[in-house]
A and B are shown apart, each in its own frame.
Chain A
Amino acid sequence: MASHVVPGVLGHFVHVDGACDAIRELKAGGHADLTVYSAAPNHELEDAIGDPISNVRLFTLFGGLLGCASGFGLTIWMSRDWPLLVGGKPIAAIPPYVVIGFELMILFGSLASVAAVFILSARKSLKGRPYAPEFSDDRIGVFVPCPADRAPDVQALLERHGSVEVSHDA
């Protein structure tokens, strides 16, 4: 079975300002579903793409709170489950348990942040979208999904903004 290919036009850029101008004009022209490749994050590209701030922070917050609650819950419940007096301290002594609560907050918060990258990135499938190895080197790639009849217009737009190489995928 042939793999699914998203039809569209892929432009290679060397200059960041040219790529940003192309992205802005494409978005203004109704091309909302662009994919922009770059070797490193870049604020100009982020501004041109205009996506809202990532929701990773919510995962981090939830993971951290869950970890902290788990740490205190674990220690207090286990102390009460087998109440053994140690060193004259209360059965459930909060100050020593702060360490466990803190460590689990960091652990769960960190793992939730990483999980968030996988979960949130998977929401936009990149399957079938073309990619070129130069994008991890020194070029910026702008892929514009569009039907074949609109491809010449998109190609002209990309070239006008300095695209050094353009390829079509049917």
Chain B
Amino acid sequence: MAVIAHDPSRPTQSHAEVTRDVVRTITDAPTRGYYMLVAGMAFLTLVLFATVVAELKHGIGLAGYAPPIMWSVYITTFVFWVGIGHAGTLISAILFLFRSPWRTAVYRSTEAMTVFAVMTAALFPILHIGREWLFYWLLPYPNQRYLWPNFKSPLMWDVFAISTYLTVSSTFLMVGLVPDIAAVRDHVSGWRKKLYSALSLGWTGADSQWRHYTRAYLYLAALATPLVLSVHSVVSWDFASSIVPGWHGTIFAPYFVAGAIYSGIGMVLTLMIPLRKVLKLDHMITSYHFDNLAKLTLFTGSILFYAYAMEYFVAWYSGSTFEQATFWRRAFGPNWWAGWTMIICNAFVSQLLWFKKIRTNLTSLFVISIFINLGMWFERYVIVVGSLANDYLPFAWGQLNPTWADWFLLAGSFGWFGLWFTLFYKNFPIVAIQEIKEMIPMPRRKSGEAH
């Protein structure tokens, strides 16, 4: 008798069990730990906004930046969070088009992470303007000065890329949520029933709804796929289209996209490893899923390894003394510690994932994910701050001296992101109910192959 091996990407529960397990994550009373987590995140968010208010009063000079490092921690943190936002769309859209079944258990949480990460990232260019109330000057609107934005500037491309990405990724998340919210609606009562009835937009799972929904979801995925690749390419061109040594590289677009996905998956691991335990979803999000996420991390980490090596090679091979000096300073200059943190955390730590024992050990994976988060923030710090510090003209060189305002803004950004994510996972289905059910064969009266 032939023995058919169980496909680990396929769920083992019944349809009813899937609904029950996911709805339980919403209806179970929040623990004291959850309230403490929300309070901690809310406190950090308050720190963020208190710092913003202080900067509104005293100016953004409160942060320790000075010429020539005018982008400093603001743009470093902006690029960091935009990068985090890339894993969600990779997993939800690109792997959907590739029909990778393992994505189903984790894509909802990564998609939510994407939206909240981009919401966090979008704060920083606006804060960096200094006069935040004038941010609308970036938009092309008819005005008394008869001026239009300069569309030849990569900064304007960024405005369009980031706002499109935020809109499309939010739309993708919300569209995916509608059938699942309807499933929750049918299993709760009281105020929750009212809330989820309104949010489910009259969804009943009728054939006339599925017919259009499945098509629209497919096209949304098809549109989001080039979008995710374009957004970080555009962010990279903020740097690459200038002539600053260390920025002016033709490899920047693929280098940034790989780095973004790498950092995003790092954050997915940081969030999902504890979350599956807390929400008791170990049977749905298994070590098989983490093994696949780890393989993606290894793949993108290896691209980063190559990109780092290629940057140094090109700096040497170009014969440009400015490029060579920039890269020499990255390794041995005043910010050597940042340069080596970036290389060790991103290029070398990711190579540990060649070993299956490490990939399937959740504790080691969690520790590696923390290194990834750290390394990817420092990568942006090295690129932004390190390159601006030493331009072509030695008399204009300078160093960044971050103040409490820089660190409070950075810590506050984690609070803002964490607050949204924490509220989301306790109030919305963190695992995609209908997509998991789609993978479970429906019961049949007659034996035989399903369609």
Residues of A close to B445: CB separation below 8 A:
15, 17-18, 162
Interface pair A54/B212, CB less than 8 Å apart:
yes
Q: Does chain B have a CB within 8 A of A57?
A: yes
Interface pair B442/A116, CB less than 8 Å apart:
no
Q: Which among A114, A133, A137, A138 is the interface contact of B175 at CB below 8 angstroms?
A: A114
Interface pair A135/B215, CB less than 8 Å apart:
no
Q: Does chain B have a CB within 8 A of A165?
A: no
Could you pull out 27 A-B pairs where Cβ atoms are within 8 angstroms?
A: A37-B206, A37-B207, A39-B433, A42-B451, A54-B211, A54-B212, A56-B212, A75-B151, A79-B148, A82-B147, A86-B150, A89-B152, A97-B151, A99-B157, A100-B156, A102-B226, A103-B164, A109-B223, A110-B167, A111-B167, A117-B209, A124-B208, A135-B204, A135-B205, A136-B19, A136-B186, A137-B15
Q: Give per-residue flags for B129-172: 1 if the beta carbon is below 8 A from chain A beta carbons, else 0.
A: 00000000000100000111111100011001100100110011
Q: Give per-residue flags for A125-142: 1 if the beta carbon is below 8 A from chain B beta carbons, else 0.
A: 010010101111110100
Interface pair A113/B152, CB less than 8 Å apart:
no
Residues of B close to A93: CB separation below 8 A:
152
Q: Which among A46, A78, A134 is the interface contact of B151 at CB below 8 angstroms?
A: A78
By beta carbon, the residue of chain A nearest B168 is A110
The CA-CA distance from A40 to B149 in the complex, in Å, is 46
Interface pair A117/B446, CB less than 8 Å apart:
no
B442 vs chain A, min Cβ distance (A): 4
The CA-CA distance from A33 to B213 in the complex, in Å, is 19
For the A-B complex, the count of residue pairs with Cβ-Cβ distances under 8 Å equals: 196
Interface pair B220/A113, CB less than 8 Å apart:
yes
Q: Does chain A have a CB within 8 A of B443?
A: yes
Interface pair A113/B434, CB less than 8 Å apart:
no
Interface pair B223/A56, CB less than 8 Å apart:
no
Within 8 A of B (CB), among A88-105: 89, 93, 96-97, 99-100, 102-104
Residues of A close to B156: CB separation below 8 A:
100
Interface pair B223/A64, CB less than 8 Å apart:
yes
Question: Which A residues have a C-beta under 8 Å from some C-beta of B?
Answer: 14-18, 34-47, 49, 51, 53-54, 56-57, 60, 64, 74-75, 78-79, 81-82, 84, 86-87, 89, 93, 96-97, 99-100, 102-104, 106-107, 109-111, 113-114, 116-117, 120-121, 123-124, 126, 129, 131, 133-138, 140, 162
In this complex, the member of B182, B214, B448, B451 whose beta carbon has the largest number of chain A beta carbons within 10 angstroms is: B451
Residues of B close to A84: CB separation below 8 A:
150
The CA-CA distance from A82 to B8 in the complex, in Å, is 60
Given contacts A34-B207, A78-B140, 13 further A-B contacts (CB under 8 A): A15-B443, A17-B444, A17-B445, A35-B207, A37-B207, A40-B437, A44-B451, A78-B151, A82-B147, A89-B152, A110-B172, A117-B175, A134-B186
Within 8 A of A (CB), among B435-450: 435, 437-438, 442-446, 448, 450
Interface pair B208/A53, CB less than 8 Å apart:
no
Q: Does chain A have a CB within 8 A of B230?
A: yes
Q: Does chain A have a CB within 8 A of B280?
A: no
Interface size class of B (residues with CB under 8 A): 35 or more
Interface pair A47/B148, CB less than 8 Å apart:
no
Residues of B close to A137: CB separation below 8 A:
15-16, 19, 183, 186-187
Interface pair B152/A110, CB less than 8 Å apart:
no
The CA-CA distance from A97 to B149 in the complex, in Å, is 12
Q: Which among A107, A113, A117, A124 is the interface contact of B164 at CB below 8 angstroms?
A: A107
In this complex, the member of B202, B205, B224, B227 whose beta carbon has the largest number of chain A beta carbons within 10 angstroms is: B205
The CA-CA distance from A42 to B435 in the complex, in Å, is 11
The CA-CA distance from A57 to B202 in the complex, in Å, is 23
Residues of B close to A102: CB separation below 8 A:
226, 230
The CA-CA distance from A84 to B149 in the complex, in Å, is 11
Interface pair B146/A110, CB less than 8 Å apart:
no
Q: Which among B205, B214, B220, B226 is the interface contact of A37 at CB below 8 angstroms?
A: B205
Q: A49-B207, A54-B211 known; A15 and B444 CB under 8 Å? A: yes
Q: A41-B438, A110-B171 known; A74 and B140 CB under 8 Å? A: yes
